[in-house]
Amino acid sequence: MRIIIEPDYEAISRKAAQIVADRIRKKPDIVLGLATGSTPLGMYQELIRMHKEESLDFSKVVTFNLDEYWGLPSSHPQSYHYFMWNNLFSHVNITSERVHIPSGTVNDVEAYCSWYEDKIKKAGGIDLQILGIGRDGHIGFNEPGSSLGSRTRMKTLTPETVEDNARFFENKDEVPKFAITMGGGSIMEAKECLLLASGKNKAETVQRCIEGPICAECTSSILQLHPKVIAILDEEASQKLRRKEYYKYVEKMALKFKKS
């Protein structure tokens, strides 16, 4: 796992956007796995700027989102459909046919989840999967205790996740208790993963993810087994890493090697 430590949130957003833009320019029809939430928001804003000011082309990009709340229609202001169109898709030149976000209103959930997995396979698999990390170490909505080999499915959200998401709703009772999410096994099939984390409240979780044991209690720890992961952290999120100085040293030496 490559660990990049940046000074602050703005810096990790710029760095992440640079990596995504680089992959798009190298492969215009790239298949991107996308995440929602506050952490990737700055990255999306920078990608929009790159599209408008640097002609970053999304016309051939295909996207698959990690998850969606169960029970919310795509028009709901807190749905991840609404989030993605409001914060990225409507500002770049991507067509709706190339955008895939799990539905929160399907009746046959099991059949739908199988269809979603098949759709990813038919697209050639995900080239670059963007990931955030939850306070309890989850990726997607793979809550603690989830099978690390799980596939796209319905997941019951923990009270902690419901509590974390309550700030986005007028009433805590309105917060969905279920979500459709890609599983750990689904995420691990991406060719490359880009993990973003910011803030001191994520420091302990980040340490467990990167340096702790691989276990279902911290589902993001499965990324230790992936052959190609880049984790971009700000100083606060990285403050509990035991080998923090080594990670910085590795990046410094890589830069020297590149210049030589």
Looking up residue 138, the CATH number of its domain turns out to be 3.40.50.1360
Parent domain of 94: 2-259
Find the catalytic residue in 67, 68, 117, 236. 67
Can you give the pLDDT of all 260 residues of the chain as single tens digits? 999 999 999 999 999 999 999 999 999 999 999 999 999 999 999 999 999 999 999 999 999 999 999 999 999 999 999 999 999 999 999 999 999 999 999 999 999 999 999 999 999 999 999 999 998 999 999 999 999 999 999 999 999 888 888 888 888 888 999 999 999 999 999 999 999 999 999 999 999 999 999 999 999 999 999 999 999 999 999 999 999 999 999 999 998 877 75
Q: How many domains does the chain have?
A: 1
Find the catalytic residue in 51, 81, 100, 138. 138
Find the catalytic residue in 46, 143, 234, 236. 143
Per the listing, tokens 């209103």 go with: 105
Q: Output DSSP code: residue 58.
A: -
The CA distance from 214 to 211, in Å, is: 9
Spell out the residues 6+ positions from residue 96 whose beta carbon is closer than 8 angstroms to its own.
89
The CA distance from 55 to 51, in Å, is: 5
Residue 143 known to be catalytic: yes
The CA distance from 260 to 239, in Å, is: 31
The arrangement of strands across the sheet holding 99-100 comes to 2-6, 229-234, 192-197, 128-131, 31-34, 62-65, 99-100
Residue 136 known to be catalytic: yes
Contact present, 104 and 88 (Cβ < 8 Å): no
Find the catalytic residue in 136, 164, 211, 251. 136
DSSP state letters, 150-175: --SEEEEPPHHHHHHHGGGSSSGGGS
The pLDDT, as a whole number, for residue 260 is 59
Residue 138 known to be catalytic: yes
The pLDDT, as a whole number, for residue 259 is 72
CA nearest neighbour of 187 among 146, 148, 230, 144 = 148
